Structure 1
């Protein structure tokens, strides 16, 4: 059914002839109105076919869904204009069904008409809001490439949507390119998308270890959230309060702005200043206009602050908090991965034993491979590297080398040149103690890395997550 030498109507008539149906009998079988069928086939000009009618025809003839799609494209166009009433739902249907050839042909046809980006942007937005994030990206990229007004909101939103789609991927180079592409457009978005964009920028910079940039974007997030909050209080005092059209509660952006700032300061070694910012999201009971979800978030950030204070105390050398921190992590399993990274970093820095902690959370550690998002994959790398250093320092060389190899595998997955170099240097320093099997594994990883650095791979799907604790 890919033969484009025929037309939709000649194909319908051919199927009617082969089935032996009259218009009247086929109208009963298909559930379509006989008059509509006659107008479609014999009208002058012929009546256009709706997408619903196309589905009914396809089912009545016994064909799989999409059988007539290549022939339906002509129904969406005429010499004067694009039929948005038909082309938009059809393009959405083709994108959702993975009919890329049809999508490409429709887009090429749309581009021949005036104001093609109006249609493409409208379809992209409908795909995005319906959850078809990856399917929308190609259309947003067309907007980015073709939009003539560099200050248009449509261009800024398209850049944001492409950046927002970044998520379930662990490729540092691609994430950095995404930050560079979106960053200039962050201030041109509507406020509700600015909040989301700044939150995403801060989170991605966390994974890229760009602490200065992370601090900058978290500052902007705090400033914007604070400004919106004050504006809402002013409107409320004047009895002009209106419902905020935000994607998430305002208190989340306010609290995350402070948490992310504290995280950036912690990574830069500014522990006292980080503690001051931690105090600012530890108790948000004063925050007004909280619904049930907002109240839940206030409690959640109070808990995050407790865990992050333990982290800061450990990193400053206060080892006495370790039992309390261990108990906290036992009560908050979602924080175990991030907590273990901090505990092992402190153990390596100050020389104390973390064996009892590792034994306590051995079951949780065995389940870390379930994480697929870039933030936690980066944490898995950092934990593995700290474990490698921990065991090497204690003379357990083979175990340390095992963790080096695991880290190298993760670094390749992350496509992080910095981390790959660190792993190779650490392995080479301990090569003489590696087993034969470990040497083979190392050779395989290096060979795979060489292949990965060859021709560009096919683009992989993207998606989002928020940093919750240090």
Structure 2
């Protein structure tokens, strides 16, 4: 004899019987209309249940929200069709509640029907717009794995959203994979997202030390921003109505960042004089038309960035005469202290001068650098600590220098920064004879951590990324 099939209605009937209520009394308790409740349970065919009705029934029975969600999946597919009116809110709610199994089962069912990706993509976009970034990824991934048209805008946007969801990642290998996956789709995005995509590609490439790629994306960003700017200015001057592009940020930000990123990439490659030309390109953007209040704020920021980066270029060229004024500039602009100190210590190491006074001046601020956890500032902290290790070891302050080398080594492991790890190990080994027994023990533990990481990485097809 076949076992009775448990359905959402059989469960409701069973608990209704146990509660001692009839339809009339339970309708009052649940807040549902008696006729609607009767149609849901007894009509032939039964009336489909809305998600709101299901949640009301659940509350009335005293169960937690989502109690009957696994059984509700069938309600999403009525008369051999997908009910978008029920499926969309159901998937969104399941994603918000972390009911991954319900999401996966529903998605698998949806994919059995014709043209399923319109619904899946719509759910993803709604979750993303609500700030449910990680919750949206499973839906975007479903689109990328099932989209038949490799040139579709929907596919490009889905790849971009997945790339966006990884912006807080500090693992360098994971960031590299994200760039490789998204890069081919950057030119297939709508202009407003293409601007943002290129900016993010350049920023991630910056944290990967891939300066040629930073240059490439900066050039593409500048060309796109320039094209949009000329078109918008032409329309305004000719009195033509301009359709809103709904840019993610002010256009001047993308324009200025294209010059800034180009200048930074050139600086990192030692092309200082060329970098000066691009620094001048964003130093004064007050001529930029189409500026609103937010745009004017960005213009002021770029003026500040240009001043800071001009100091950087002079120091890297060996002009130590500006050191005092640069320190005063950093004191007046605390947000620039971390990147500024990286430059100062690097310059001191390159040209062999002392910056003990500056380190003392900003010692309190340096204690607070740990609060910076975004990928770009994590990278800056790593580079500052590495330069400090070299600086202190060169000054024969071996105990502190080795401590900084070990700190960098730990950071490189957590960042999955293979190149940085090699640099730190090399630095320690060159100064091993100056390390205390405690420091050598700490180094040994870090090496064991690397081995453990590698063992776990083998199981997950990962390695340290060597750039």
**What's the CA shift for 1:79?**
4.7
1:462 alignment partner in structure 2: none
Residues 367-386 of structure 1: pairs in structure 2 closer than 5 A = 367-386=368-387
Q: Which residue of 2 aligns with 1:467?
A: none
1:432 maps onto 2:433 in alignment: yes
SS at match of 2:380: helix
Normalising by structure 2, we get a TM-score of 0.96
- Distance in 1, matches of 2:143 and 2:452, equals 34
- Match for residue 466 of structure 1? none
User: Partner residue of 1:194?
Assistant: 194
TM-superposed CA distance for 1:416, in Å, is 1.1
Gaps (5+ residues) in structure 2? 461-467
TM-fit CA distance, 1:273: 1.2
For 2:164 and 2:121, the matched residues in 1 are separated by: 16
Structure-to-structure mapping, 1:197-236, within 5 angstroms: 197-236=197-236
Where do 1:283-294 residues align within 5 Å? 283-294=284-295
For the residues of structure 2 that align with 1:89 and 1:422, how far apart are their CA atoms?
51
Q: How many angstroms does 1:341 deviate by?
A: 0.4
**Counterpart residue number, 2:48:** 48
Equivalent position of 2:398 in the other structure: 397
Measure the CA separation in 1 of the matches of 2:104 and 2:150. Answer: 25
| Rounded Cα–Cα distance in structure 2 between residues aligned with 1:427 and 1:437 | 14
3-state SS, counterpart of residue 286 of structure 1: coil
1:249 matched to 2:250? The reply is yes
- Which residue number in structure 2 is paired with residue 86 of structure 1? 86
SS at structure 2 position matched to 1:453: helix
Q: CA deviation at 1:146?
A: 1.5
Say if 1:4 and 1:70, in contact at 8 Å, map to a contact too: no
Aligned residue for 2:107?
A: 107
> Which ranges of 4 or more aligned residues in structure 1 deviate by more than 2 Å?
241-244, 455-459
* Maintained 8 Å contact 1:232/1:241: no
Q: Greater relative contact order: 1 or 2 (C-alpha under 8 angstroms, separation 6 or more)?
A: 1
Tell me if 1:264 matches 2:272: no
Task: Write the distance in 1 (CA, Å) between the matches of 2:98 and 2:237.
Answer: 52
Q: Tell me the CA shift for residue 69 of structure 1.
A: 0.7
1:241 positional shift:
3.4
CA RMSD, aligned part only? 1.5
Cα separation, partners in 2 of 1:4 and 1:149, compared to 1, 3 Å: farther
In 2, the alpha carbon distance for the partners of 1:330 and 1:261 equals 27
Do residues 129 (structure 1) and 129 (structure 2) align?
yes
Q: CA deviation at 1:4?
A: 11
Q: CA deviation at 1:331?
A: 1.4
**Deviation, structure 1 residue 31:** 1.0
1:309 aligns with 2:326: no
- The DSSP-based 3-state class of the residue aligned with 1:455 is helix
* Aligned equivalent of 2:464: none
Counterpart secondary structure, 1:187: helix
Q: Counterparts of 1:391 and 1:191 in 2: how far apart (Å)? A: 49
Partner of 2:28: 28
The two structures have a TM-score, normalised by structure 1, of: 0.95
**Farther-moved stretch of structure 1 (274-283 vs 223-232):** 274-283
Structure 1 residue 455: deviation in Å? 2.8
Q: Is the 8 A contact 1:4 1:71 kept in 2?
A: no
Distance 1:5 1:391 in 2: 74
Counterpart of 2:340? 339
Tell me if structure 2 keeps the 8 A contact 1:211–1:264.
yes
The 2-side partners of 1:35 and 1:458 are apart by 57
Partner Cα distance (1:244, 1:113) in 2: 34
> Could you say which residue in structure 2 is the equivalent of 1:167?
167
CA distance in 2, matches of 1:321, 1:79: 77
